[in-house]
Amino acid sequence: MTDVYQNVRIPNSDDKVYKDECVYSFDNPESENGLFICMSTFRGLGKDHVARHCKLNPGKNVFLHILRRRRT
């Protein structure tokens, strides 16, 4: 059995973390489903693109889910 967390990395100063918007669509943390950040590639993904990312990048399936709601 492989360790599910073996590809999880901590970003360093040279890494670009795409946490403001999905790299494939206009989803962002304030979208209905929020934004999912891959903890291996640091790419931000909308919910509709997570399955494709996991299929194209086996073993890179641990995400940070950012969901932001505005207070009124």
CA distance 34 to 24: 14
Residue 70: phi and psi, rounded to 5, are: -80, 135
From residue 72, alpha-carbon distances to 20, 69 in Å are 21, 10
- Cα separation of the two ends of the chain: 48
Domain carrying residue 23: 1-72
CATH number (domain holding residue 65): 3.30.40.10
Structure pTM?
Answer: 0.87
User: What per-residue confidence (pLDDT) applies to 1?
Assistant: 43
Number of domains the chain is built from: 1
User: What per-residue confidence (pLDDT) applies to 2?
Assistant: 58
pLDDT in tens, the chain (72 residues): 457 788 899 999 999 999 999 999 999 999 999 999 999 999 999 999 999 999 998 888 999 999 999 887
Contacts of 26 (CB under 8 A, 6+ apart): none
